Amino acid sequence: MAFKRISFSDIDLKKLDDVIDVRSPSEYEVDHIPGAINLPVLFDKEREMVGTIYKQNSKFEAKKLGAALISKNISNFLKENIREKHRDWLPLIYCWRGGQRSYAFATILDQIGWDVGVVDGGYKSFRKHVNDFLDKNIENYFLILITGNTGTAKTKLLNLIEERQGQTIDLESLANHKGSVFGSQGQKQPSQKLFETLIYDKVKNLKTGEPIFVEAESNKIGNLHIPKEFWKLMKNSPQIEISATVEQRAQFLVEEYSEITTDLDLLEKQITSLSTIAGHKVVESWLRMAKNKEFIALAKQLIEKHYDPRYERGLLRKKKQVFATIEIEDISRKGLSLTVDSILKTANNRMKTL
C-alpha cells in the first residue's frame, strides 16, 4: 500500500485537485466534505444488497459480490470521470471510516501512478473535526448581529456588506430558508449535519480579529437548529437594530416574496398555517385580502398582528445588547447602500471601544 493516509486536520484542501467521496449517494447527500464530488464505489441499492447477503447468508458471498460491483463502478469512473486527468493530478479519497471502499479506489489510482491520499478515519474523522470546531473554536470569533423587525431588508444588507468585503454569515442562505412561515417556498433544506458543515466551512475562512455580521435569528431556521455554541455566541453578541416604517416594510415584503404572491394556492396555504397562532377569524380576513390581491394591506396586517409581536418576544430581542439603531429612509438599493455606510461606521466605532 503506497497511498498516504492523512489526518483531516493535516489536510490543506486548497492544494488538492479533487476530493472524492466514494460513499453511496444517500450518505453523500446527508453530509460531505465541502467541495467533494461523489463517485460511489457502491450505489445505494448495491450497498443494501451486499449488506443483506452479508447479514443473512454468507460473508464470503457478500464480499465476492461487493468486489465485483466495486470493480465495475471504479472501472466506469476511470473511463467517464478520471480518464482525462493529467499525470500530476492530486486526489484525496474518503469513505465512512477510511476502510475498504476508499482503500479499493485509492489502490487502483495509486497503481496507475497518481499521488493519492486517503482521509484517515474517513468521513467520521471529518465530522469529529467539524464538531470540535463548532464546540471549541467558535467562541474566538466576534459577531455583530443585524436585528430589526421583519421587512427591514436585513438579508439584503448582509449581501451588500459582503460586496464591500465585509465578513458575513448568511444563515438563512445556508439553511435554504428565509426564516419565516413564508420562507420555505417548497425548497428542500440541507440535513442538520450538512447545515453545520456549511457553517463550519464559512466560519473557518473568516478572521477572528474583525467583526462578522450575522442576521439575528431564532435558534431554529425552518427545520434546522443553529449549532449550540454558535447560538450561545449569538445570544451574547452586540446588536445593531435596523428600523423602517410599516409602509416601507410592507412594500419590501411584497417585492421580496413576489414568487408567493403569484402563486395564490401557496399563499393561501401559508396563511392558513397561521390559524393556531392568529385565530381563524383573522386568518379568514387575510385570505380574503390574498384572494383580492390586496397584497400591501395583507403585508401590513401580517407585520402588525403577526411578525412585530413575535419580534418583541424574540430571544435575541434584548435592549442591553442593542448598541445602535439605524433608520432606513429608502429601501431601494441606493438607500440600503447608505444604510450599510452607517452600519460599517457604527461597527468600526464599536470595535475601537473594545
Which residues pair with residue 324 across a beta bridge? Answer: 240
* Amino acid in the structure at residue 42: L
CA dist 87 and 96 (Å) reads 27
Choosing from 22, 33, 82, 95, the catalytic residue is 95
CA dist 331 and 95 (Å) reads 48
* Amino acid in the structure at residue 312: E
Report whether 346 contacts 326 (CB < 8 A): yes
From the centroid of its chain, how far is CA 211?
Answer: 20
Cα-Cα end-to-end distance for the chain: 54
Identify which of 253, 284, 92, 126 has the alpha carbon closest to the alpha carbon of residue 197. Answer: 126
**Catalytic status, residue 95:** yes
CA dist 27 and 96 (Å) reads 9
Query: E strands along the chain, which residues?
Result: 4-6, 18-21, 37-38, 91-94, 117-119, 143-148, 167-169, 212-215, 220-221, 224-225, 239-243, 322-327
* Active-site annotation, residues: 95
